[in-house]
Structure 1
Amino acid sequence: MTTIGINLLVYMQELNNGTAQSALLPTIAGHGVTLAEVRREYIKDDAEFDRIRETAEANGLDLFYSVPESLTIGGAANPGFEGFLDEAVRMGVRNVKFNQGDVKDVDAAVIAAIDGAAGARGLTLTIENDQTPENGTLACTAASLAHIHEVGGAIGYTFDLGNWFWRGEDADAAFAQLLTDITVFHLKNVNGATDRAALSTTMLQDGVIDWRTMLPQLAPSVPVFMEFPIPADRVAEQVALVRQAVA
């Protein structure tokens, strides 16, 4: 059974207006989902790590953690890597997502050390295709995942459906090629504009991506996180659409 989650980007307007992520977790739980993905860039003070954990526990939410940093830099783990993992432990997080960085080029020992640090803390890790030339192309992502597999790494993969459009890539082709690598799915739809400046996310039913045919192909163990800004009064509607697609 596919588990549905909400990434806090869904509440971007509220976050930009100063609402803390911890204050939004009860709202997420109120939509009947059991997963929330916290975003590091919106954590404004140290005490928020503890508030997030306490609120998630009180509302029966499992947490994922999105860190907008490269996993590896210059052939080594990100200098802040272990600190990010410690933040995740403090919040009671299950999985931490990073940008892929140059992981396709690092030594096997670096990946083994990364896996060891995560495993010692009871965490899983994923890398993501983002919207940048460095971390967002299909060729780069496929090479990163192939290298991880070749050296026996445990790092998983967060497939971001909409981000391919910001790189001018074919989302359907990327999905078909990378399907067996996906361990987390970030769901969004886009207006399909060829001019990147005009490209934007849409409500799920309004965009150009046939996401409904993709979700049933995912392994049941792959959580599907909605990850795009949604007006507060339309979140329930969007959750219902995802539920219908994975039923």
Structure 2
Amino acid sequence: MTTIGINTLVYMAELNTGTLQSELLPVIAGHGVTLAEVRREYIASDAEFDLIAQAAQANSLDLFYSVPESITIDGKPNPGFAGFLDEAHRMGVKNVKFNQGDVKDVAKAVLDDIDAAAAAHGVTVTIENDQTPENGTLDCTVASLRHIKELGGSIGYTFDLGNWFWRGENATEAFSCLLPAISVFHLKNVNGAAHREDLATTMLEDGVIDWRSMLPQLADTVPVFLEFPIPADAVAGQVAQVREVVGA
């Protein structure tokens, strides 16, 4: 059965007014989910890593970790890669997500080193399509995932449903193309505006993406994370919509 998670970006209003992610984890657990994804850009201090670990354990949450950095740069692992995995291990994280960077061009030895480091830290690693020209196009994502597979790498793939619109790509076509590779699913809907500067996320029921037809096609092992800002009083309703579709 599909597992539902909540990325702390859901509570962006609270984060932007100083609420700690460790303080949000009990709120997330209160929606009856067992997965939460924390974001590195909102970790306020070194002490927060331990507070997040404690809050996750106290609320029986499995943690994922979003790191807004390229996994590889200039053909080598990101210089901060080991440190990011140390942070993940400290929090008890299960999966760490990076931008894809130039992973489509790296040598097998680099992929082997990434896999070994992930295994040593007890985490899995995924790459994501983001909203940038470097990391967000379908061609780039296909090339990255093909390269990883051909060289026997273990890096998985976090599919972000809404990000395709910011690159002028067709989200439905991207989903069909990349479905076999998806390890984690970031769910959001968008208004479908013609101009990039007018694009915005919407409540699930208000956007142009037929996400309801997509979720049943995912493998049961693929967790689905809500990952867009939602007013606090609307989160329960958004979770309920996802739960209705996936039967969780």
TM class by shorter-chain length? over 0.9
Output the TM-score relative to the length of structure 2.
0.99
Matched, 1:19 2:19: yes
Calculate percent identity across the aligned residue pairs. 75
Structure 2 counterpart of 1:169: 169
Aligned to 2:153: 153
Task: Show structure 2 runs of 5+ residues with no match.
Answer: none
State the partner residue of 2:43. Answer: 43
Distance, in Å, in 2 between the alignment partners of 1:123 and 1:244 is: 30
AA partner of residue 101 (structure 1): G
Deviation at 1:123, TM superposition (A): 0.6
Amino acid aligned to 2:144: S
CA-CA distance at 1:243 after TM superposition: 0.2
How many angstroms apart in 1 are the aligned matches of 2:198 and 2:245? 28
Taking structure 1 as the reference length, what is the TM-score of the superposition? 1.00
The one-character-per-residue Cα deviations of 1:196-223 (angstroms, maximum 9, x if unpaired) are 1110000000000000000000000000
The runs of 5 or more residues in structure 1 that have no matched partner are: none
Hey, what does 1:194 align to over in structure 2?
194
Q: Compute the displacement of 1:120 (Å).
A: 1.0
Instruction: Report Cα offsets for 1:9-37 as digits up to 9, x if no partner.
Output: 00000000000000000000000000000
Q: CA offset at residue 189 of structure 1? A: 0.0
Encode CA deviations 1:14-68: one digit per residue, 9 max, x unaligned: 0000000000000000000000000000001000000000000000000000000
1:182 is matched with 182
- Give, as a single letter, the amino acid of the residue that structure 2 aligns with 1:152: G
Q: Which residue of 1 aligns with 2:119?
A: 119
Q: How many residues align?
A: 247
* Equivalent residue number for residue 215 of structure 1: 215
The residue that corresponds to 1:244 in the other structure is 244
Q: Which secondary structure state, in structure 1, belongs to the residue aligned with residue 228 of structure 2? A: coil
Q: Which residue of 2 aligns with 1:95?
A: 95
Q: Which residue of 2 aligns with 1:128?
A: 128
Aligned-residue Cα RMSD (Å) equals 0.3
State the AA in 2 paired with 1:29. Answer: A
**Equivalent residue, structure 1, for 2:30:** 30
3-state SS of 1:214 partner: helix
The letter for the 2-side match of 1:108 is K
Q: Given the alignment of the two structures, is residue 65 of structure 1 paired with residue 65 of structure 2, yes or no?
A: yes
What amino acid maps onto 2:142 in structure 1? A
Distance (Å, rounded) in 2 between the aligned partners of 1:108 and 1:163: 29
TM-aligned CA deviation for residue 121 of structure 1: 1.2
